Amino acid sequence: MDRKEFRDLVTPAEAREAIHSLELGAGTERVPLAEARGRILASRIDAELDVPGFDRSSMDGYALRARDSFGADEAEPARLAVVGEVHAGVEPDVEVGAGEAVEISTGAVMPPGADAMVPVERTEHVEPGSADRAGGETAGADRRAVLVRTSVAPGDNVMFAGADVAAGERALGPGTRLTPREIGLLSALGVEEVPVRAPPRVGIVSTGDELVRPGEKLTSARGEIYDVNSHAIAAGVEDAGGEAVVYPHVGDDMVEMERVLRQAAGECELVLSSGSTSASAVDVIYRVIEERGELLVHGVSVKPGKPMLVGRLADSAYVGLPGYPVSAMMVFRTFVAPVIREAAGLPTAATASREGSMAVRERSEEGRLRLMPAGLVEGGDGETLVYPVDKGSGATTSLAEADGVVVIDPDTDYLDAGEAVTVELFSPDVRPPTLVGVGEDDPTLNRLLDRLENPRYLAVGSRPGLRRLREGVPDVAAVAGPLGREVDAEPVGRWSREWGLVVPADDPRRIEGLDDLVDRELRLVNRTTDSGLRTSLGLAVADLATERGTSRESLVEAIDGFEFGLRAHESPARKVLAGDADAGLGIRETADRLGMGFVPLGEQELRVLADPDRLGKPGVAELLAVLEDSPDVEVD
């Protein structure tokens, strides 16, 4: 491939401008009111009718001619003949003349002749035949009558036609997002179908021979991995108000790739590819763009995202995203989501970004805009702390840790601890964790975490966990086994777990203890030195060496597999299960869970240590309450 194009990098501002210039024209559509929630009104809605459409009684009482009540009060009520009644939803069949009243219920049509109404509380009903207490007269006692004990003015207690909404009034403007109250207003106007912006269709094409769609079978021996970007970017597109169309991902079959790209371009307003970094894949994209479109940007001065492509594919806009998930999400969030939101008419969400201050100092390379994946944690004083997440951009777990992206200016060579930064969240729905923990992976701990509101726990192992706690980012660390040196941390809870060797269910090698590993030809799968289990195993080997009067090193050398460890907590057991080894370092609960045998070697303590400055924050208080409430846990 000819990579010379990338020598001519454009600035991020130029890239934004290019993407903006693509003008994703989304159309409009009509949807029933019942499905309109959250949609954006495409054009103004004027009231086509008066609300109410008639003069309406505001209360239960009597409709009358106001002048017939003039001068009436408690002492001298006016007596009116009741000539009928009107209920809500029924057309009045009576007219109100001088000296007359009509019984009326809330919401009913004012009968002709009446110009006001008096609430029932200010009246007294007079049954036919009863004496008229107002004046003692008996004239008219054969008719129903009402005593009106207050004077009302014309219009009193009447809601006139159009008083609420008047026909011809501008009710809702174009671009209005339809929330329940707008839907209520449209209901009042009798609107059953509304013109709304159609979501821009965004096609997503992941590229890579190694990708497998989630749910399908993965063959790790071939280096296959699950396709992360298709679903994650699709969800991002929907967050931004677009309609995501996920196409089959394509590998090195160039005919197929070209076919899929052309199909996507024909069906969507915008096509996003991800991971098209292999020379041959980029070749195809170039060819399709050059034959049927226009290439506007080939390379942007941003890290990550340098090989970003921007152009037109047939009649569709096209942007090429990086293949690594966190990089793809950052570039999407920073460069692409805003134009989708705009095309969808969706306003920038109030929760789309968050202000905070750097928890640690972070260096940045000068000269290129940097997109830094960032996590959020609440500090001891309730302030939002922002920390860089960097597990290597190939790691999907950065996704679990990163809440968004901090865009760092090319002129900035470092962000100081305490410096104010803005985190553009990956979704307006991202909620910063209530508690951030790091350390050992442990089943008891996992169950405790399940009871917390919104915890983030990174099973980095005991040693890295302690290191991170010292650096001041997490609230708590969970550490297993004996530790080399103590940290300035508050122990808040502890429990013990049984560790040993996980062996096949039928235990064909009859392993009984550590001696067997040293003395027999058995293959062990160990954990990395980050793990507390590895530390306990190392100490047990040292004890055995002392017991035998030999050196720890000689025993270690005698154990096949001791030096090389796996980071993953269940991986040794799974290697045994797969027949690749005879014993794996692990805990009893793992063996039980996987239906395997277990050779206990000891008990080790798992301790939860908290940053003393964070003891007062709500998420830590919630953890302390859960620890307190757990019979397995001894609270410090």
Residues in region 18-37 near a copy of itself by CB under 8 A: 33-34, 37
Pairing relation of β-strands 414-415 and 316-321? Answer: unpaired
Residue 142 CB, nearest approach to a copy of itself (Å) = 28
Q: Among 27, 38, 367, 508, which residue sits at the site for a copy of itself (rule: CB under 8 A)?
A: 38
Q: CB 618 → a copy of itself: shortest distance, Å?
A: 14
For the CA atoms of 548, 553, 554, 555, what is the dihedral angle to 10 degrees?
A: 60
Angle subtended at Cα 585 by Cα 584 and Cα 591, rounded to the nearest 5 degrees: 75
Q: Is residue 355 near a copy of itself by the rule CB under 8 A?
A: no
Nearer to a copy of itself, 20 or 213 (CB): 213
Name the residue nearer to a copy of itself (CB basis): 307 or 311: 307
Q: What minimum distance in Å lies between the beta carbon of 455 and a copy of itself?
A: 6
Cis geometry, peptide bond prior to residue 119 (ω within 30 degrees of 0): no
Contact pattern for a copy of itself over residues 482 through 521, marking x by CB under 8 A: ----------------------------------------
Q: Using alpha carbons, list the distances in angstroms from residue 547 to 23, 363, 481.
A: 77, 50, 21
Smallest distance from a copy of itself to CB 598, Å: 15
Residues in 403-442 that interact with a copy of itself by CB under 8 A: 403, 426-427, 429-431, 441
Dist. CA 114–CA 151, nearest whole Å: 14
Q: Which is nearer to a copy of itself, 10 or 281 (CB)?
A: 281
Among 76, 121, 192, 592, binds a copy of itself (CB under 8 A): 192
Determine which residue in the list 75, 139, 221, 255 makes contact with a copy of itself, applying CB under 8 A.
221
What is the DSSP code string of 575-634? HHHTTS-SEEEEEHHHHHHTT-EEEEEEEEEEEEEE-GGGTTSHHHHHHHHHHHT-TTPB
Give least dist CB 132 to a copy of itself, A: 28
Instruction: Between 71 and 180, name the residue whose CB sits nearer to a copy of itself.
Output: 180
Q: Which among 323, 297, 409, 347 has a CA at the least distance from the CA of 8?
A: 297
Q: At 53, list the tokens.
A: 């459409």
First-to-last CA distance in the chain?
Answer: 63
Q: Whole-angstrom Cα distance, residue 122 to residue 80?
A: 13
Sites for a copy of itself among residues 201-220 (CB under 8 A): 208-216, 218-220
Contacts of a copy of itself in 321-340 (CB under 8 A): 325, 329
Is the Cβ–Cβ distance between 539 and 482 less than 8 Å?
yes
Cβ count near 210 (within 10 Å): 15
Residue 37: CA atoms inside 13 Å, Cβ hemisphere, count? 5
CB of 395 to a copy of itself, least distance (A): 5
Which is nearer to a copy of itself, 429 or 628 (by Cβ)?
429
Beta partners for residue 302, in sequence order = 369
Binding to a copy of itself (CB under 8 A): which residues in 135-164?
159-164
Q: Contact region for a copy of itself (CB under 8 A) — 47-55, 141-149, 380-388, 487-495?
A: 47-55
Total chain residues near a copy of itself (CB under 8 A): 134
Of 297 and 327, CB closest to a copy of itself: 327
With binding defined as CB under 8 A, does residue 112 bind a copy of itself?
A: no
- Among 85, 239, 378, 475, interactor with a copy of itself by CB under 8 A: 239
Identity of residue 276: S
Task: Let me know: does 236 contact 262? Beta carbons within 8 Å.
Answer: no
CB of 593 to a copy of itself, least distance (A): 8
- Which parts of 315-448 are beta strand (E)? 316-321, 353-358, 362-363, 369-378, 384-388, 404-408, 414-415, 420-425, 435-439
Binding test (CB under 8 A) with a copy of itself, winner from 145, 205, 234, 296: 234
Site for a copy of itself in 262-291 (CB under 8 A): 277-278
We find the least distance from the C-beta atom of residue 446 to a copy of itself, in angstroms, to be: 4
In the β-sheet with 201-206, what is the strand arrangement from edge to edge? 243-246, 201-206, 270-274, 316-321, 309-313, 294-298
Give the residue, chosen from 81, 295, 395, 545, that forms a contact with a copy of itself under the rule CB under 8 A: 395
Interatomic CA distance for residues 281 and 263, integer angstroms:
16
DSSP symbols for 145-173: EEEE-S---TTTTEE-TTSSB-TT-EEE-
Q: In this structure, which amino acid lies at residue 69?
A: S
Q: Tell me if 233 contacts a copy of itself by CB under 8 A.
A: yes
Taking CB under 8 A as the criterion, the residue among 230, 276, 535, 604 binding a copy of itself is 230
68 or 530: CB nearest a copy of itself: 530
Do strands 420-425 and 353-358 pair parallel, antiparallel, or not at all (unpaired)?
A: antiparallel
To the nearest whole angstrom, how small is the minimum distance from the Cβ of residue 106 to a copy of itself? 8
Q: Is 56 in the site for a copy of itself (CB under 8 A)?
A: yes
Region of 1-9, 259-267, 568-576, 613-621 interacting with a copy of itself (CB under 8 A): 568-576
Q: Is 131 in the site for a copy of itself (CB under 8 A)?
A: no
Using the minimum distance from each CB to a copy of itself, give the nearer residue, 514 or 623. Answer: 623
Q: Which stretch binds a copy of itself (CB under 8 A): 77-85, 303-311, 566-574, 599-607?
A: 566-574
Kindly calculate the radius of gyration of the chain based on its CA atoms and give it in whole angstroms.
37
For residue 540, the minimal CB distance to a copy of itself (Å) is 23
Crossing angle of the two packed helices 254-267 and 279-292, in degrees rounded to 10: 40
